[in-house]
Amino acid sequence: MHQDPYPTTSEEPSAIVQEYLNKVSIDEPLPVDQLESIRQQVKQLLIEKNAVIVAHYYTDPLIQALAEETGGVVADSLEMARFGSKHSADRLIVAGVKFMGETAKILTPNKTVLMPTLEATCSLDVGCPADEFTDFCDQHPDRTVVVYANTSAQVKARADWVVTSSIAVDVVDHLDALGEKIIWAPDKYLGAYVQKQTGADMLMWDGSCIVHEEFKAKGISDLKQVHEDCAILVHPESPQSVIDIADVVGSTSQLIAAAKNLSQQRLIVATDQGIFYKMQQAAPEKELIIAPTGGSGATCRSCANCPWMGMNSLQNLLQCLQQGSGEITVDTRVAKLATTALDRMMTFKQTP
């Protein structure tokens, strides 16, 4: 029987994910003079309100640049959490998606956490409703519950561990060495990758990232034939067929480090294109090529740009500073429960 070497793995989003996708609205780009005016207003308000921008690698490069210029940070979700918890500012302006704001609030309950928009979410978060997940865990009480950072505060409250993609393999390896069986949620592709790396006994939740799920091994391999000297960098939220052809698999921070350290001058990158801002800074001499999505049928939904990350703009960032809008609150009882699992993530020592 003929076997497709590069099976298409992406599926239609679930009804709940589609419902959130239908609500996405992205601000129109502004003329340069208006952008500069907004930038200056934001800078002034950050000082007046003792606030700092904590931005994710996938946000608009304009936001990333402003975060850097004003003493904020551009990072992955683990470093965003670390930075926010240590910074002396009274207000954290978290540019990213909602679970990042919630994590910041849980870790720094004494600070005001604002987000440019509260509508920015994540298919992994909304695809793992807390009540269904709790039922799932309750059916397997003998298993240690490990959840990815891309989950709601309520799901984290049910977990024993929270992990980011930068420490997922090490944490699961550590638990496996202790003889623990694991429930993993919500990303099935990252879970399968971690399972393959560690050999751990993992029961998976069926969730996926609508951005990474769209990368296609066939398209990437075709591109590699055109640029034989290139390296393929892949985030492990991508399908197994894409991971299988990668030269480097890693979290956003690990991919940026790899871009700098690899000898190849040309890099095909399978993650959100927002990462190019920091990746190009780290490796200015390299040519970065976004990995193809959607295949020849042009079916891609995201085209390597997270629609929810794209909802963050300089306009709504200014608005949240001016009006104090987009404030994140987390129920005290939920926050207390989630803190235990988050603290384990924050204090886990990775193998060098």
**In the complex, which residues of this chain contact ligand SF4 (CB under 6 A)?**
58, 97, 122-124, 150, 209-211, 237, 272, 306, 308-309
- Residue 51 or 311 with smaller CB distance to ligand SF4: 311
Residue 175: count other Cβ atoms within 10 Å of its Cβ.
20
With beta carbons less than 8 A apart as the criterion, state whether 158 and 134 touch: yes
- Residue 97 or 159 with smaller CB distance to ligand SF4: 97
Rounded least distance, CB 75 to ligand SF4, Å: 14
CA dihedral 287, 290, 295, 299 (to 10 degrees): -150
What residue type is assigned to position 148 of the chain?
Y
- Residue 46 or 150 with smaller CB distance to ligand SF4: 150
Rounded least distance, CB 207 to ligand SF4, Å: 9
Rounded least distance, CB 80 to ligand SF4, Å: 12
- Residue 190 or 314 with smaller CB distance to ligand SF4: 190
- Residue 342 CA to chain centroid, in angstroms? 16
Q: Is the dihedral of CA 97, 99, 103, 108 positive or negative?
A: positive
Residue 268 in tokens: 């095909």
Rounded least distance, CB 45 to ligand SF4, Å: 26
- Residue 24 or 282 with smaller CB distance to ligand SF4: 24
- Residue 22 CA to chain centroid, in angstroms? 20
**Cα separation of 162 and 145, whole Å?**
9
Q: What are the residues facing 277 on neighbouring strands?
A: none
Rounded least distance, CB 212 to ligand SF4, Å: 6
- Residue 60 or 237 with smaller CB distance to ligand SF4: 237
Place of tokens 């002034």: 44
Rounded least distance, CB 324 to ligand SF4, Å: 25
Rounded least distance, CB 176 to ligand SF4, Å: 24
Q: How many CA atoms lie within 13 A of 190 on its CB side?
A: 28
- Residue 51 or 306 with smaller CB distance to ligand SF4: 306
Count of residues for the chain?
A: 352
- Angle made by CA atoms 168, 169, 172, in degrees to the nearest 5: 85
- Residue 150 or 195 with smaller CB distance to ligand SF4: 150
Rounded least distance, CB 289 to ligand SF4, Å: 19
- Residue 224 or 308 with smaller CB distance to ligand SF4: 308
Rounded least distance, CB 179 to ligand SF4, Å: 31
In the three-class reduction of DSSP (H, G, I as helix; E, B as strand; rest coil), residue 230 is classed as coil
- Residue 59 or 195 with smaller CB distance to ligand SF4: 59
**Cα separation of 166 and 151, whole Å?**
16
Task: Specify whether the backbone of 89 is left (phi greater than 0), alpha (psi in -120 to 50) or beta.
Answer: beta
Task: Specify whether the backbone of 41 is left (phi greater than 0), alpha (psi in -120 to 50) or beta.
Answer: alpha
**Cα separation of 345 and 299, whole Å?**
37
Rounded least distance, CB 125 to ligand SF4, Å: 7
Helix axis angle for 77-86 and 98-107, nearest 10°, is 40
Residue 315: count other Cβ atoms within 10 Å of its Cβ.
14
